[in-house]
Structure formats: C-alpha cells, structure tokens
Amino acid sequence: MKQEINIAFTLYEHMLFTSVTLPAEMLRAGEAYAKRHLGEKFIPLKLNWLAQRDTPIGNDLGMQLNPNGDLTLLAQQDYVIVPSIWRNPRPVVRKNSNIAKQLTLTWLQGGTIIGVGTGVCFLAESGLLNSHPATTHWHYAKQFERDYPDVDLKPDFFITQSERIYTVASLNALADVIVHLISQLYGLEAANHVQQNFSHEIRKPYEEQRYLEGAVDKHPDEQIAAIQFWMKHNFANEITLAEVAQQFDMSYRTFNRRFKAATGQTAADYLQVLRLESAKELLANSNLSLQDIAVSVGFSAQGLLTRIFKTRLQQTPSEYRKIVRKKLFS
C-alpha cells in the first residue's frame, strides 16, 4: 500500500495566498476525518511547498510561506496545485519559467495538476493544454486567448477537466475541485464532511459544473452511453433496471456487466445517485413534503428516501433540508 500521498503547491511572488491556504486547510480537514474513520485503509498526506529558491514568499499583508523544497521535486508529486497570480500574470510567468518545464515532468510521471485562475498560464506555457479545454480568471480571459491561441479556452465554465489536468476560474470552483479530490482519496463521507464545514453556500456537485473533455458519459460502449442519457431523462418514472435492459434489447445480466465495465459503477448506484441529487435540489429549493419529494424523484416511499440519505450522506432528508435552508436564507 502507498505510504503517503504527495501534494505540492508551487510558490512564487505575487501569488494569491488564499489559493494555497484554502485547499491546504481543506485537504488537512479531509485527512483528519479519514484518519478517524478509515482505519488501516488510511493513507496520510505529505504537503510540499516548492519554489525556485528556499527564501520565504511574502505578500502585502505581511504573511509568509516557507518553501520546503525546490521545483525539481514536482516530478515526484501525485498532485500539484498551481496558485493564482495577483494582477497581470505575464511578468510572474516570465520570471518563473522553470515551473512550466517541471509541470511537464509531473504530467509525464503520472501526476495530476490543478491550475487556479491566472496560474493556469503556467500550464499553458508548458504546452500541456494545447488542443485541450481550460478556463481562467474572467478578467484575463481575452489576454489568455491572445497569448495561448492553441488552448481551447472555455471562459463560461468555472471548471474544466482534461484527464489529469484541472483548471478552475475562481476560489469557489477550487473548493469544489478539492472536495471532489477528497472524495477520490478518502471517500464521499470525508468529502461531505469537508464541504459542510467549509462551504458557506450550497453549490451544485462538481460533476455538474465542469467542462469535461470528451463530454459526460463518453466511453467506448455507445449503447451504455445511450442508456445513461435515457436514465437521466426518465429516472423519476417508476422503472426497473430489468425493464431498462429489455428496452435496449439486452439481457439483465449483460446489461449489468456492461454498465459496470463502462462506467465503473453499477446501474443501480447510477440510478440512485440521479434520484438522490434531484431530491437534494427539491429539499433545498421547494416546500414539498418528504413523501412528495420521494415520489417525484422515483423513490417508492419516504422511508426509502430516508434510508438512502442516511446511507450516502449520514443524515436524514429533514436534517439536510434544515442545513441547506439555513445556508440559503440566513
């Protein structure tokens, strides 16, 4: 088993400190939760602060961050977060040209890279984003487009994902990606715990916000992709998976096997998540009773909705509604 997960932040002058401190504290919170609940499956994080020189990086507020290694260590990292830059990014990018070169090595060694705001310019400089989607801070979108015409800029999206490269346009979007990352590292319970403690508003899940290269549900099994599309538009109806399989001319056994192979999850789980997300939306934004919500999203009864809520979110629908309503209307 892997001994630790290496996550590095690239440090440089004129960076936005919040795009370092916020994800670092969220990751530590997720790690602390996982340490209490995962037992032998727990893997600790090693946070690294990497810069061209070993001198402290300061800002106008008098705060400092101290590097604990140089940029040559980037290739050894599992994840690299490239923070945003205050004001015009061009001078900072020119002064720290080695970062782009080292990010290429990170990618080649199998690492995942998250670019934040104008810090995405370093990824563009490396060439890793050529012919791939990206986003950046709205104020510098036009400049980014001129400087990096080979990048498929998506200014209307706060998050883009191209395999192991993520770009985000804002701190809120960064927080959503970090919650997504924590769910991958430590599971949904840890991710939900961090989201509830760090988010001051209710946002859509990461999967609903991102621009995913290749499009959602894109995989080699076109028939399963068609089934996913159909399920997204019919999940609220009283359907059984056996009926879905029959409708698409498959045996139930073949349907289950191919769905799991294509998506990495069972069809039952996929359907349940579709219904659960719709229920969460109604709990936050409507005054419908729990029974009405359960029926309207495809659950046969309020009790089933409650049981699934407690299993997946460790809280009842009523508790969830109370929390989100307090955040939305306080």
Q: How far is 267 from 264, CA to CA, in rounded Å?
A: 10
Task: For domain 222-329, give its CATH number from 1.10.10.350, 3.40.50.620, 1.10.10.60, 1.10.760.10.
Answer: 1.10.10.60
Q: What values do phi and psi take at 72, rounded to 5? A: -65, -15
Q: How far is 93 from 147, CA to CA, in rounded Å?
A: 12
Which pLDDT score is estimated for 326? 59
Q: What is the mean pLDDT of residues 195-210?
A: 69
CATH of domain 5-212: 3.40.50.880
Residue extents of the structural domains in the chain: 5-212, 222-329
Sign of CA dihedral 153, 154, 159, 163: negative
Q: What is the mean pLDDT of residues 31-54?
A: 94
Say if CB 267 and CB 256 are below 8 A apart.
yes
Q: How far is 8 from 69, CA to CA, in rounded Å?
A: 10
pLDDT in tens, 255-281: 999 998 888 889 999 999 889 888 988
Same fold: 5-212 with 222-329: no
pTM, entire model: 0.70
Which pLDDT score is estimated for 218? 57
Q: What is the mean pLDDT of residues 194-207?
A: 72
The amino acid sitting at 182 is: I
pLDDT in tens, 87-126: 899 999 999 999 999 999 999 999 999 999 999 999 999 9
Which pLDDT score is estimated for 284? 78
Mean pLDDT (the chain) is 89
Which pLDDT score is estimated for 265? 84
Q: What is the mean pLDDT of residues 121-145?
A: 95
Say if CB 327 and CB 202 are below 8 A apart.
yes
